[in-house]
């Protein structure tokens, strides 16, 4: 196993960015010497094994296609595309080029939520009910990226992906309600899902609430977990309420946001998978399943 993986970065002022001021500010901060404003030139000159492409969803596709065709392992943030077709094509291209890929669905990588899932599966075998909530106060209620992508696909997809991950199965059937709350764009997306393993999933997302909060619940025989990755998890066992409370910092062993909020773990997982030649957990093929569920909610919603 190689000790190091050569990594290139596009976007966010890293190794390659069109905004030179941003590029140099971040490169100076982290002591990065080689800097580019042309990502193709960067790939050619530096010969990386992997690339982080941190771009808005409507600017992402061509860069990812080029990187995959260069046989690079690819990290992208959510959403993995503007449409289901885009991520489906990218997943197929990654498979053709034998590239390892990952989408940064960081909720599923938060140490606290991963610990909660492990506890539920150890105690009950599997959950029979999961609830995934994500609320925001989006005011003024403007579209994301000037309307290039809807809010469920762009942001509330975190809750959709986490619901899938908690249930550890795919959705068999669902009913959905989508509402705009008097505005000219959809601002809440709610679904009741039946998973193939008979787990029931509840999705509650709304961008016209009192403020940002998210909580994830997993319920199995004799155990219930209520987890807010910003703060803590409360665990009930066998009739004992608040049997255990774990803070997000305790689970991560760190007070640093990048550690307890899953960002470090998802990157560590990506690099480990490259070194071991294992497909990452939230690879493009898996992201297709999440985007399929997003698509079903959007088109099924009353």
Check: CB of residue 159 under 8 Å from CB of residue 134.
yes
Q: Count CB-CB contacts under 10 A for residue 224.
A: 19
Domain boundaries, the chain: 7-106, 107-262+284-300
Q: What pLDDT does residue 5 have?
A: 94
* pLDDT at res. 183: 95
- Torsion from C-alpha of 296, 172, 135, 60, nearest 10 degrees: -50
Secondary structure (H, E, C), 130-164:
EEEEEEEECCCCCCHHHHCCCHHHHHHHHHHHHHH
Fold of 107-262+284-300: Dihydrodipicolinate Reductase; domain 2 (3.30.360)
Annotate 120-156 with b (16+ C-beta within 10 A) or e (fewer): beebbebbbbbbbbbbbebeebebbeeeebbbbbbbb
Residue ranges of the chain with per-residue pLDDT less than 50: 1, 13-14
What is d(CA 246, CA 231) in angstroms, rounded to the nearest whole number?
A: 9
Homologous superfamily (CATH) for 7-106: NAD(P)-binding Rossmann-like Domain (3.40.50.720)
Of 41, 39, 44, nearest to 55 by C-alpha is: 39
Q: What is the pLDDT of residue 14?
A: 42
């Amino acid at each position: 196993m190689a000790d190091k993986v050569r990594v290139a970065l596009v976007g966010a002022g890293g190794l390659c960015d069109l905004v030179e001021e941003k590029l140099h500010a971040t490169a100076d901060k982290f002591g990065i010497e080689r800097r580019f404003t042309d990502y193709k030139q960067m790939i050619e000159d530096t010969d990386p094994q992997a690339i982080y492409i941190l771009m808005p969803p409507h600017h992402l596709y061509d860069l990812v296609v080029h990187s995959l065709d260069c046989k690079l392992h690819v990290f992208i943030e959510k959403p993995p595309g503007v449409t289901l077709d885009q991520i489906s094509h990218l997943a197929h291209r990654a498979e053709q080029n034998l590239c390892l890929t990952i989408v940064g669905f960081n909720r599923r990588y938060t140490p606290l939520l991963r610990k909660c899932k492990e506890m539920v599966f150890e105690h009950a075998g599997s959950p029979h009910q999961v609830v995934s909530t994500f609320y925001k106060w989006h005011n003024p209620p403007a579209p994301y990226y000037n309307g290039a992508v809807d809010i469920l696909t762009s942001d509330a997809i975190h809750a959709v992906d986490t619901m899938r991950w908690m249930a550890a199965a795919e959705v068999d059937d669902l009913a959905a309600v989508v509402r705009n709350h008097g505005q000219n764009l959809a601002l809440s997306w709610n679904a009741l899902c039946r998973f193939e393993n008979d787990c029931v999933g509840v999705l509650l997302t709304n961008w016209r609430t009192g403020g940002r909060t998210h909580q994830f619940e997993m319920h199995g025989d004799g155990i219930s977990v209520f987890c807010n990755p910003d703060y803590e998890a409360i665990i009930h066992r066998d009739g004992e309420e608040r049997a255990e409370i774990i803070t997000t910092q305790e689970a991560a062993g760190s007070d640093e946001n990048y550690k307890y909020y899953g960002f470090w773990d998802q990157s560590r997982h990506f690099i480990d998978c490259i070194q071991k030649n294992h497909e990452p957990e939230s690879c493009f093929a898996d992201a297709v399943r999440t985007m399929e569920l997003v698509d079903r909610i959007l088109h099924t919603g009353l």
